[in-house]
Chain A
Amino acid sequence: MKRRRFLQVAGAAGAGLAAGCSSGSTDRLLPYVTPPEDIVPGIPTFYASTCRECPAGCGIHVKTREARAIKVEGNPAHPVSRGRLCARGQASLQGLYDPDRIRGPFRHTARGLEPVTWDAAIAQLAEALGAAAASGPDRVALVTGADSGALDGFYDEWLRAFRSTRRLRYETFAYEPLREASRLAFGVASVPEFDFASARYLLSFGADFLETWISPVQYTREFAEAHGFRDGGMARFVAVEPRRGLTAFNADEWIAPRPGTEGLLALALAASVVRQGRAHLVGAEADRVRGFLGRFGTQSVAEATGVDEAVVDRLAREFTAAQPSLAVGGGVAHQHRAATQTAVAVHLLNYVAGNVGRTVRFQTGRALDKLSRYSDATALVTAMAGGKVDVALVHDANPAFTLPRAAGFADAFRKVGLKVAFASHFDETAALCDLILPDHTPLEQWGALETVAGTRSFVQPAMTPVFDTRQTADVLAAVAQKAGKRVAAGAASARDLVAKGLAPAALEQTLQHGGQFGPAQQRSVYLVSDFARMAYQPPAFDGDAAGPVLVVYPSASLFDGRGANKGWLQELPDVATKIAWQSWIEVHPDTARALGLGTGDVVTVTSPHGSVEAPVHVYPGVRRDVVAMPIGQGHREYGRTAKGRGVNPLDLLGADATDASGALAFCSTHVKIQKTGRSVQLASTEGSARQLGRGVARAVSLAAARQGEVEEGPEATITDAERTAIAAAAASQRQRAYIGEYAKPQPKWEMTVDLSRCTGCSACMTACYAENNIPVVGEEQTVRHRGMAWIRLERYFEGDTSGTDWQVRQIPMLCQQCENAPCEPVCPVYASYHTPDGLNGQVYNRCVGTRYCANNCPYKVRYFNWWDYGTVGDPYFAFSEPLNWQLNPDVTVRTKGVMEKCTFCIQRIRFAQNDAKVRGRELVDGEITPACVQTCPADAFVFGDAHDPDSRVSRSKADARGYNVFDMLNARPGITYLERVIRGEGA
């Protein structure tokens, strides 16, 4: 109870502050009469919770200031996230403060939308439910997202109380093929746990495990562990998929088989392994497997897949030579009509390579295993269409958007007597509902999730609700009570359900920790022969085979579209194409040339099931016979940011395009592409896709790296004599420059970025937005290169992109904090100057806006406030109420006409320094982390004091792979990049 009271107090104070901030008047700013014990003004309070932006369930810390959530970071104690977080997770804040949130309960009537009281709504719902239950079984349907733990159980129990079992745990990506394949191959219908970290060889069949697949943050961390270059070694990663996305960018080799044939390739690999006598098989099983695999001759497969036999044999050899290895299947490879077969094939490949039980482990009770299948969803649609459902409740799901339009959800849903939405937004589904009972956002909720076996991950409110919302479970409990049903031993609220069986002290302790994290219970599996009964051949595709195959993939930032109303995620350039705010269709350069298309040309994409219009993005990362479109845009409802933006490629899919597991085949149709004659400018942040030997993002082969060799840049032309001369000049200059405050012993903040770890996931960008109050500028300004992201992910193509044998170089580019910063001396008013601890200070309120500094910055990491993003009432005001609640109080909101830039999160540095000072302690190396460093799931950044020879950053700088971008300019950057290492064939 104490926490509740405190939250109320805090919330009230918060509301007061909010009024103060937004209206600019100070009359509501009241001091605490009796200060709540958890709040010290100026000192942040962290609440451990769990991220609900995707089913992975990362542990998070919500940073609050004066009872206001201002930032979300990973929970270091949590087994999934280990203190890191992806862009989507961090953007949950914008979900909390979204101005388009539903601010109270509403009812849809003939007169349209009108507010209702909670009591009235609950009464109406209870009545309807009573009637439904009375009129027979299964008249009530409850659709939720991927839920687990206490609340999940409660929902089922609650539903039973109303004589129904129509429960849908609906997720757009439910991994049905993987689960089904596990059942067929090992008798366990489960999503296995993959151990990327210890794998020495990675083979991915379409799995975008660095973007959205299963648990991206965890897998990014583990992948960086395995694939990052350390002590002369690293894992090799081969990506097999018709479209090269971010995950495949990180591959040492990209193999692009015909869409749908990944499974055959996997089988051919397994067969080759067996043929080469490298299989880990014994006895009768060996014969059985050999017999089965015998069907897949390398040659026939080579024809089907378009992958050369030699390549297959080589991969098989490499795959088994490295121990342990790991093959994963997912993404597009698990999204066609032969998805289940593909998943089986990948399982078999792992099995023959002896990875099952080592890098592929099965556990009991994964939340994903309980997810409903796409076929379950369509079944519900049929039931609703057939009038078999009287009351339908939708919570934490938006099927009206994420189901193909052909599935006819909307029409069926309309037939339901009473439709209730427990939504935060008027999304496509809520717009169809009669009752809208707004739910808390995850940052206001209670919960205890069991996403991964062995963990119980708690969700707790970080602040009092922003609006008049209620947690769904609380409402349902109240409804049950009203209807006279006793559910969950009469638990009245989500909090009761979560706290059940925990003493207050234990609860407090668990909440502080973020949950209970025990070891996962492993289950050993053996091969069962059910899989052999399936037919293994390339899948069928709808439409005219003359046209390219359409690959529909989840957007790494918008996921299945749920992120589309969050400015941070819309403005985050797509990790692969670097396009923000828009929809696009990726077309191979040759195909584009054949069709006479250029980037920006708007085309009509037609499938047998529908057609959409989208601009072309000419992209070498797709096969000539494939075009690709991201899911996420094309909302017809939802909110100001998402509504009417882009198109939804799901409109092109057939509802009955499913595979053996009943999963939707996202990749199931050929499309026709026609010019419309119109053309648009893409909101791309890409200036040039080629770095033209300028040595910005460098890479070196593993063999070379082992010899300590590196790729050289333009600075290599500087002779040693010149270097010594430069050094001498620098020394004498330094002497005459470093006087006064500068002469005292000072730290020098520096950073290293290991490009062999960085995957390009762009989580750092969102972290920077959150920490530094960076405004979201919108589509039109992004088109004009006016985005404000202080840190950006540059993506360059290397090599001949006409084939598949090319590499991608990615590099996070942020202010290099140069010692001889070109930006500083040109400023007439000292707004840009060098701080004694080695940073390029930027004094916002001193800047007059000559923009000379930006002209003279070789790295182009200075950003100008073209508009008045920070002033209430201005047409470009970027933090409309209550988004402004999120602003970091430690950072100025910049005004019109000033230059802004990264300063290594100076506010975090100063906070730590002050804390050390007041506590009279020494700063610990690694204690200070800029926002980007803090969140990086791949742990690619090292930050610290370069004047301390023992600091991690000093040691990391000394790495032979270390280089400075544009070193020949003698700006002496404070950021050292460590070259990416590419592990070629065999090596």
Chain B
Amino acid sequence: MATIATPVPASAPEPTYAETNRDVIATLRPPGRKYFAGMAFILVGLAFGAFCWGYQLRYGLGVTGYTPPIFWGTYITTFVFWVGIAHSGTLISAILLLFRSGWRTAVYRTAEAMTVFAVMTAGLFPVLHLGRAWYAYWVFPYPNFRGVWSNFRSPLVWDVFAISTYLTVSSTFLLMGLIPDVAAVRDQAAGWRRKLYGLVSFGWKGSDREWRHFGKMYLYLAGFATPLVLSVHSVVSWDFAMAIVPGWHATIFAPYFVAGAIFSGCGMVITILVPLRKAFHLERYIQVRHFESLAKVCLLTASIVAYAYATEFFMAWYSGNPFERASFYNRAFGQYWWATWIMLTCNAFIPQLLWFRKVRTSIRALFVISIFINIGMWFERFVIIVTGLSHEYEPWQWSYYLPRWPELGILIGSFCWFSMWFLLFIKFFPAVAIAEVKEALPAPVRAGGHR
């Protein structure tokens, strides 16, 4: 979809406190036909995904395209994809908070919500890729009569801890940030809404005492979220790096994956913000400069990722390890050349356009590029996982994998699942952080003019 950016004229005055409240809370007005149409579409997709999983549960993983020795495919690819998406949210909301960068306030709420929902989506995949999903809870170390705990040496158990911690902390972070805004919504609502928002705001009043502790708490949460976000994707990357599969077993993986995650996340933030901003007329709050900053982050991380690709190929060659060499030669020129080149084009080449200010400040261009970034980052994980497995040590056991319809159905379903939560969110909670936007605005003073 194309979206026409309506840049805020320089003359336009900064919004006042009241305007901010008014405009943001306006986003919570009862939705229109378009919204319901979209929601219906999404629910259909979700239902199809659910059907695919049911079908798979009934007959077994045989319904997928898995072709040994390729035992992981679309599901794990999509898992890593969504975890990656999650990361930029925390980056913007927590890390940039620590860095006191002003531009985050307008976009962080969306980003943070995206984080939570992306993790909720990602969390599904390790379960539904299992051969016996109904025993997924066995990976948690809980006391049981079998007397067996979890194998803490397994990266998958690290995953369990990392992902669940990440989900808890990031959703807490989102909830805490919401408190003052929900209070604001409450104070303008009536009837059951007032009660509901009253509960969610924990009865926040904005007294000096509340603000005092709240501020610190928020700071420390950000302090926790920052190392967490770095650890989570490192742990995810270790699912691969800890294995001895050629093409997986590399120390570069942790930083490489974190960079990739933020890259894909910022891409997704742009993809979401452009239509959101348009639909809710938030141009005054989510401004072009915000997009430009996001674009800069994309450009930086894209370059890091491109560098990582280069390093991987270089190391494969330089190591002299015949297995690594074969694996990477196959990656670039083997059966999966197409996936690899999609990845390189979308992640390494196209983002280079962002060097140009003109591109960075054109909402339409950014939107298109962000789509490419999303596609490219999905393929990055596909390339790493599938080409690695397709061409391992044992030449007799080389083969070729392509996903089958149940896998694609579940992939689509995951997007719908994510969008469903997001759509619900923007109708129930302020998609822009009222308090923090106001915080960034000049306070009203007696002298009248700004000081």
Complex partner residue of A867 from B60, B139, B394, B395, CB under 8 angstroms: B60
Q: Which of A318-337 contact B (CB under 8 A)?
A: none
Q: Confirm or deny: A911 has a beta carbon within 8 angstroms of a beta carbon on chain B.
A: no
Per-position contact with B for A685-715: 1 when CB-CB < 8 Å, else 0? 1111011111010000000000000000010
**Total residue contacts A-B, CB cutoff 8 A:** 163
The answer to whether A674 has its CB under 8 Å from any CB of chain B is no
Q: How far is the CA of A966 from the CA of B323 in the complex (A)?
A: 11
CB of A829 within 8 A of CB of B392, answer no
**Interface on chain B toward A: helix, strand, loop, or mixed SS?**
loop
Distance of A450 from chain B, by nearest CB (Å)? 43
Residues in A with CB closer than 8 Å to B160 are 828
Contact B322 A694 (CB under 8 A): yes
Per-residue B-contact encoding for A844-858, CB less than 8 Å = 1, 0 else: 001111111011101
Given contacts A856-B244, A858-B244, are A864 and B150 in contact (CB under 8 A)? no
* 8 A Cβ contacts from A808-834 to B: 813, 822, 825-830
Is B156 a contact of A852 with CB atoms below 8 Å? yes
Please state if A850 and B151 are interface contacts (CB–CB under 8 Å). Answer: no
Report which of A688, A717, A826 forms a contact with B156, defined as CB distance below 8 A.
Answer: A826
- Pick from A829, A858, A895: contact of B148, CB under 8 Å: A829
> How many positions in chain B have a CB within 8 Å of any CB in the partner chain?
48
Cβ of B139: which chain A residues have Cβ within 8 Å of it? 828-829, 848
Shortest A718–chain B CB gap in Å is 12
A526 within 8 A of B: no
Least Cβ–Cβ distance between B364 and chain A, in angstroms: 42
User: For the complex, what is the distance from the CA of A875 to the CA of B60, rounded to whole Å?
Assistant: 11
Contact A830 B148 (CB under 8 A): yes
Chain B binder among A204-212, A246-254, A753-761, A896-904: A896-904
Query: Does B356 belong to the interface (CB within 8 Å)?
Result: no
Is residue B154 contacting chain A, with contact meaning CB distance below 8 A? yes
Are the CB atoms of A860 and B148 closer together than 8 Å? no
| Contact between chains at B396 and A687 (CB < 8 Å) | yes
C-alpha spacing A852/B148, complex, angstroms: 19
Q: For residues 83 through 135 of chain A, which have their beta carbon under 8 Å from a beta carbon of chain B? A: none
Q: Are B393 and A858 in contact (CB under 8 A)?
A: yes
Q: Say if the beta carbon of B211 comes within 8 Å of chain A.
A: no
Say yes or no: is A939 at the interface (Cβ < 8 Å to chain B): no
Say whether B71 faces chain A, with CB atoms less than 8 Å apart. yes
Query: Is A852's CB under 8 angstroms from B154's CB?
Result: yes
Stretch of A345-353, A375-383, A780-788 with 4 or more beta carbons under 8 angstroms from chain B:
A780-788
Q: Which of B71, B129, B146, B155 lies in contact with A854, CB distance below 8 A?
A: B71
- Interface assignment of B202: CB less than 8 Å from any CB of chain A: no
Partner of B394, one of A825, A858, A866: A858
| Contact status A865-B396, CB under 8 Å | no
Contact of B132 among A860, A875, A896 (CB under 8 A): A896
Question: Residue on B with the closest CB to A811?
Answer: B396
A129 and B395 CA atoms in complex are apart in Å by: 62
Q: Give the contacting residue for B243; candidates A686, A855, A864, A897; CB below 8 A.
A: A855
Q: Which residues of chain A are near B219, meaning CB under 8 Å?
A: none
A784 CA to B61 CA, complexed, in Å: 13
Q: Which residues of A contact B146 (CB under 8 A)?
A: 846
B60, A868: Cβ atoms under 8 Å?
Answer: yes
Q: Is B72 an interface residue (CB 8 A)?
A: yes
Q: When the two chains form their complex, are residues A864 and B130 in contact, meaning their CB atoms are under 8 A apart?
A: no
Question: CA of A848 to CA of B320 in the docked complex: distance in angstroms?
Answer: 37
B229-251 at interface with A (beta carbon < 8 Å): 239, 242-245
Residues of A within 8 A of B99 (CB): none
Flag whether B255 is at the interface (Cβ < 8 A). Answer: no
Q: Does A859 contact B (CB under 8 A)?
A: yes
Could you mark each residue 771-789 of chain A with 1 if its beta carbon is under 8 Å from any beta carbon of chain B, else 0? 0000000000100111000
Q: How far is the CB of A644 from chain B (nearest CB, A)?
A: 23
**What residue of chain B has the Cβ atom nearest to residue A697's Cβ?**
B396
Q: Which residues in B have their C-beta under 8 angstroms from that of A865?
A: 60, 131
Taken together as a complex, chains A and B put the C-alpha atoms of A345 and B110 apart, in Å, by: 89
A536 at the interface (CB under 8 A from B): no
Q: Is the CB of A875 within 8 A of B131?
A: no
Known contacts A688-B396, A813-B396, A854-B68; is A829 also within 8 Å of B150 by CB?
yes
In the A-B complex, list the 9 residue pairs whose CB atoms are closest, starting with the nearest. Answer: A849-B131, A897-B131, A866-B62, A687-B398, A688-B395, A851-B71, A860-B397, A828-B156, A897-B132
Contact sample, A vs B, 11 pairs, CB 8 Å cutoff: A785-B397, A826-B242, A828-B156, A829-B150, A830-B150, A852-B156, A855-B245, A860-B392, A860-B394, A864-B131, A969-B244
Q: A686-B396, A849-B130, A858-B393 are in contact. List 9 more A-B contacts (CB 8 A).
A: A687-B397, A717-B320, A786-B62, A796-B396, A813-B394, A850-B156, A859-B393, A860-B392, A864-B68
